[in-house]
Amino acid sequence: MLIDFFYTLRSAGLPVTIPEYLGLLEALRHGLIGQSIDEFYQLSRMTLVKNESHYDKFDRAFAAYFKGVESLADLTKDIPLDWLRKRLEKHLSPEEMAKIQQLGWDEMMERLKKLLEEQKERHEGGNKWIGTGGTSPFGAYGYNPQGVRVGQDRSRHRSAVKVWDQRQFRDYDDSIELGTRNIKVALRRLRRFAREGAHEELDLDDTIHSTAANAGMLDIKMVPERHNNVKVLLLMDVGGTMDDHIHRVEELFSAAKSEFKHLDFYYFHNCVYDFVWKNNLRRGSERLQTVDLLRKYNKDYKLIFVGDATMSPYEILQPGGSSEYNNQEPGAAWLQRLTHTFPKFAWINPEPQGVWGYRQSIAIIQDLMNQRMFPLTVAGLESAMRLLSK
């Protein structure tokens, strides 16, 4: 198993050597850690990675190789792991997919609770029970137009309305090397310098001119120091379908951090609910309540959402509709509070604008944003910055 792990790291571009790998085996042989995957992660990173710049590559390779699933839901009981063991994977034609019955939100949640009480054994390939490779709304490696995905290693059809997995997201890299200056140039349209405060700086041109006009007698001229008065609050969607857009969002994030002196940022997943977070590795324990965010920042901040707005409509409109936990209020309520508190707002969408009309959730978000949604292109960013600067 660890030999394959070694080659996975090498394939990910990490300069891992055989002596370092042997050092990891020696540490394991001497029992330096227990049976915890977290302890193995720390040990393997310490022995195999010699440069902090490679931590991100290591984390991605480690997550891809050791894929764990832990329960997050709070229903009647845990689902036995044996029920979710992958033995077959369902692949249907578009015609077959169209024939499969869809359930309403309340009916689906009630049916899941009932099945957890009734089901006694593993099932696969069916259309009712929790299992694998079937067309039931509950399980893994099958197909249903909208259901609860349970215990699957990754998204396949991107149609689940709830996900019963503990998913780890990674922070966007704010120091990524930009491939183009266009994003920075577009963001610069928002910058407005304002003279404020009593601090002054030397006005060299005026000092030279005044000294010359004063027959060579030094006449120092001072002007108020200039400050970048633009304040930006950045809320970024992370994980799930946003994985397709990581590189472009990282470019935007890096450019924003270099262009705006007063920039603060938080993450959310799919839609903003009652909390946001700064660090994806600690998003379960270090959260900022959205109501506190509304109190912390005043209306002088320009609010920018970054997300593909691609999700189940339930996640926006339904209490308990979040794919990861039972939110007490719908995401739409929180979006309305945010846009009311920060009158200068815009939504940047990395999805190609040509597909927006085919996504029901994008249309809903556009309405909530008063049509202030712009594509993540140079032209789209320029339009968004022009709107925010008015």
DSSP string, 255-311: HHHHH-SEEEEEEEBSB--SEEES-GGGTTTSEEEHHHHHHHS-TTEEEEEE----S
Least-confidence region, from 312-316, 360-364, 370-374: 312-316
pLDDT grade, residue 194 (50/70/90)?
Answer: very low
What whole-number distance in Å separates Cα of residue 143 and Cα of residue 94? 11
Higher pLDDT, 151 or 234: 234
What whole-number distance in Å separates Cα of residue 208 and Cα of residue 77? 80
Residue 103 pLDDT exceeds 70: no
Query: What's the confidence (pLDDT) of residue 105?
Result: 55
What whole-number distance in Å separates Cα of residue 342 and Cα of residue 294? 9
Query: What's the confidence (pLDDT) of residue 267?
Result: 94
pLDDT grade, residue 236 (50/70/90)?
Answer: very high
Most confident region among 57-71, 79-93, 265-279 by mean pLDDT: 265-279
Least-confidence region, from 95-99, 156-160, 179-183, 225-229: 156-160
pTM: 0.53
Higher pLDDT, 79 or 340: 340
Write the burial class of residue 341 (CB in 10 Å: 0-12 exposed, 13-18 middle, 19+ buried): middle
Residue 235 pLDDT exceeds 90: yes
C-alpha triplet 359, 360, 362: angle, nearest 5°: 70
Residues 300, 229: contact at Cβ < 8 Å? Answer: no
Radius of gyration over alpha carbons of the chain, in Å? Answer: 26
Distances (CA, A) of 380 to 238, 311, 358: 20, 22, 19
Least-confidence region, from 55-69, 109-123, 161-175: 161-175
Domain 182-188+230-388 indexed as CATH 3.40.50: yes
Least-confidence region, from 38-42, 214-218, 315-319: 214-218
Query: Would you list the domain boundaries of the chain?
Result: 2-65, 81-164, 182-188+230-388, 194-227
Query: What's the confidence (pLDDT) of residue 233?
Result: 96
Residue 360 pLDDT exceeds 60: yes
Residue 269 pLDDT exceeds 70: yes
Question: How much is the average pLDDT of 356-363?
Answer: 90
pLDDT grade, residue 198 (50/70/90)?
Answer: very low
Residues 58, 48: contact at Cβ < 8 Å? Answer: yes
Query: What's the confidence (pLDDT) of residue 185?
Result: 72
- Structure token digits, residue 156: 């396949």
| DSSP state letters, 108-150 | HHHHHHHHHHH--S--BS-SSSSEESSSSSEEESS--SS-EEE
- Structure token digits, residue 60: 């991605």
Whose tokens are 């960013």? That residue is 381
Query: What's the confidence (pLDDT) of residue 302?
Result: 94
Write the burial class of residue 169 (CB in 10 Å: 0-12 exposed, 13-18 middle, 19+ buried): middle
What whole-number distance in Å separates Cα of residue 327 and Cα of residue 315? 9
Question: How much is the average pLDDT of 321-343?
Answer: 90
What whole-number distance in Å separates Cα of residue 321 and Cα of residue 58? 34
Condensed to tens digits (0 to 9), the pLDDT of residues 56-71 reads: 788 888 887 876 433 3
pLDDT grade, residue 244 (50/70/90)?
Answer: confident
pLDDT grade, residue 197 (50/70/90)?
Answer: very low
CA 12, 17, 21, 27 torsion-angle sign: negative
Supply the mean pLDDT for the chain: 76
Whose tokens are 């008063």? That residue is 370
Query: What's the confidence (pLDDT) of residue 368?
Result: 94
